[in-house]
A and B are shown apart, each in its own frame.
Chain A
Amino acid sequence: GENVEQHPSTLSVQEGDSAVIKCTYSDSASNYFPWYKQELGKGPQLIIDIRSNVGEKKDQRIAVTLNKTAKHFSLHITETQPEDSAVYFCAATATGNQFYFGTGTSLTVIP
């Protein structure tokens, strides 16, 4: 099955700085890569996703990049704000397969 590794496990940044979270996957058949944000006491919420036919996708302050050759994808958050503090999960899946989640990154934005 798929194996998704996520780094770093914890990340602290100053408000206004950028944050980058990286994930690698093992199954070359994986073709869909969502990112979820989990706030304290809440369930994971989809924030952005990318499919394997696209190299980069951006939505306001967040962006995701995908390198299929190297089998890694990254989440970029610019101009971080305190409300960005949460646990972020990457996931990978191939069509018709279950989601395999990364181990999570706890992001703290320091005001």
Chain B
Amino acid sequence: DTAVSQTPKYLVTQMGNDKSIKCEQNLGHDTMYWYKQDSKKFLKIMFSYNNKELIINETVPNRFSPKSPDKAHLNLHINSLELGDSAVYFCASSQELYQPQHFGDGTRLSIL
């Protein structure tokens, strides 16, 4: 069983479109995260979601909005996609906030 699963694995779309990435974890963890990995492999946290509390990285544009229907799911919605949004987006989860994290296999987003 996959512990943290993301869909889709690949997402190719045009500039200006709106898209969503879904994430589900079956580990029973309380906390979920979204990370962005750029072309140089640099990993940067975007959001942490812990027990219905959203912690936002202030450098993330407000075109990005996380939505958590329940503790096991954290989706990422992106409005008005820009070329600079091209990256791999990773979902992760941990038992408690900022404890050892389990990562999904990523969603590669390409903006044409």
A residues at B contact (CB < 8 Å): 34, 36, 38, 41-46, 49, 87, 89, 93, 95-99, 101, 103-104, 106
For the complex formed, measure the closest distance between the CB of B100 and the CB atoms of chain A, giving whole angstroms: 5
B104 touches A99 (CB 8 A): no
Q: What would be 19 A-B contacts, judged by CB atoms less than 8 Å apart? A: A36-B103, A38-B41, A41-B106, A42-B105, A42-B106, A43-B4, A43-B92, A44-B103, A87-B41, A93-B98, A95-B98, A98-B48, A98-B57, A98-B98, A99-B45, A99-B101, A103-B40, A104-B42, A104-B43
Sample of 10 further A-B pairs with CB below 8 A, known A43-B103, A99-B98: A43-B92, A43-B105, A43-B106, A46-B101, A49-B100, A89-B43, A93-B98, A98-B98, A103-B41, A104-B42
**Contact between chains at A101 and B42 (CB < 8 Å):** yes
Docked-complex contact B100 and A34, CB < 8 angstroms = yes
The reply on B97 being an interface residue by CB < 8 A is yes
How many Å lie between the Cα of A98 and that of B101 in the bound state? 11
Question: Once the chains are docked, how many angstroms separate the CA of A87 from the CA of B90?
Answer: 15
Instruction: Give chain B nearest CB distance to A80 CB in angstroms.
Output: 20
- A98 to B97 alpha-carbon distance, docked (Å): 8
CB nearest neighbor in B for A42 = B105
Residues of A contacting B48 in the complex (Cβ-Cβ under 8 angstroms):
98
A36 surroundings in chain B (CB, below 8 A): 103
Task: Give bound CA distance, A9 to B42, whole Å.
Answer: 11
Q: Which of A87, A98, A99, A101 has the most CB of B within 10 A?
A: A99
Chain B's closest residue to A93 (CB) is B98
The distance in angstroms between the C-alpha atoms of A55 and B43, with both chains bound, is 26
Knowing A101-B43, A104-B41 are in contact, say whether A46-B100 is a contact too (CB < 8 A).
yes
Whole-angstrom distance from the CB of A95 to the nearest CB of chain B?
Answer: 8
Looking at B43, B57, B103, B105, the one whose CB has the most chain A CB atoms below 10 A away is: B43
* Nearest residue, chain A, Cβ from B91: A43
**Nearest residue, chain A, Cβ from B104:** A43
Smallest Cβ-Cβ distance to A45: which chain B residue = B103
Give the 10 A-B residue pairs with the shortest CB-CB distance, closest first. Answer: A43-B103, A101-B43, A104-B41, A43-B105, A44-B103, A43-B104, A98-B45, A42-B105, A43-B90, A43-B106
